[in-house]
């Protein structure tokens, strides 16, 4: 329960920071992008969200939040922000080890709300399915 409370508090704090960053000085955005797009991304060890969690806020104008932000923003732009439509890696070879991880994303993309949650058998399969999106820095 303590981890969940800490993760919830961290999520609130990160969303507040994202709101402050998005509310900075007005600047013209390049065509086809929106400065108010953000996703709060988390990866939790286990199925029931009680394990160790890592998270970050992804902003895409300009890409920031973690080292794979630019690649993630490009992939999400290609799918309209739909994580479920990302193209899985074709040549990934993952071990058949059951060590579940749960990936979550919440926020908005192109003005519409985004909610995504999926539990994968292990982190290799998560990476093969979602590419750089949940490749959060340690």
What's residue 137's pLDDT?
A: 80
Share of the chain above pLDDT 90, in %: 60
Residue 62 falls inside a structural domain: yes
Domain, as residue range, for 83: 2-21+33-130
Residue 61 falls inside a structural domain: yes
Global model pTM greater than 0.75 = no
Domain count, the chain: 1
- Give the C-alpha separation, 128 to 17, whole Å: 30
Residue 136 falls inside a structural domain: no
Residue 138 falls inside a structural domain: no
Dig out the tokens for 132 from the structure.
């750089």
Q: What is the chain's mean pLDDT, rounded?
A: 79
Residue 9 falls inside a structural domain: yes
The pLDDT confidence band at residue 135, using thresholds 50, 70 and 90, is very high
Residue 83 falls inside a structural domain: yes
2 pLDDT more than 60: no
> Domain containing 54 — which CATH number?
3.30.350.10
Residue 90 falls inside a structural domain: yes
Q: What are the tens digits of pLDDT across the range 10-36?
A: 444 444 444 434 433 333 333 344 457
What's residue 36's pLDDT?
A: 74
Nearest to 113 by CA among 38, 30, 35: 38
- Which residues, at least 6 apart from 138, have a Cβ–Cβ distance to it below 8 Å? 54
Residue 26 falls inside a structural domain: no
């Amino acid at each position: 329960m303590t981890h969940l409370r800490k993760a919830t508090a961290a999520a609130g704090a990160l969303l507040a920071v994202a709101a402050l960053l998005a509310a900075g000085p007005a600047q013209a955005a390049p065509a086809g992008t929106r400065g108010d797009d953000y996703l709060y991304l988390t990866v939790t060890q286990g199925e029931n969200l009680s394990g160790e969690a890592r998270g970050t806020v992804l902003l895409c104008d300009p890409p920031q939040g973690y080292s794979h932000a630019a690649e993630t923003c490009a992939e999400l732009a290609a799918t309209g922000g739909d994580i479920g439509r990302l193209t899985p890696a074709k040549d990934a070879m993952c071990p058949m080890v059951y060590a579940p991880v749960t990936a979550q994303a919440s926020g908005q993309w192109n003005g519409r709300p985004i909610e995504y949650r999926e539990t994968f058998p292990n982190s290799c399969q998560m990476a093969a399915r979602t590419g750089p999106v949940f490749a959060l820095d340690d």
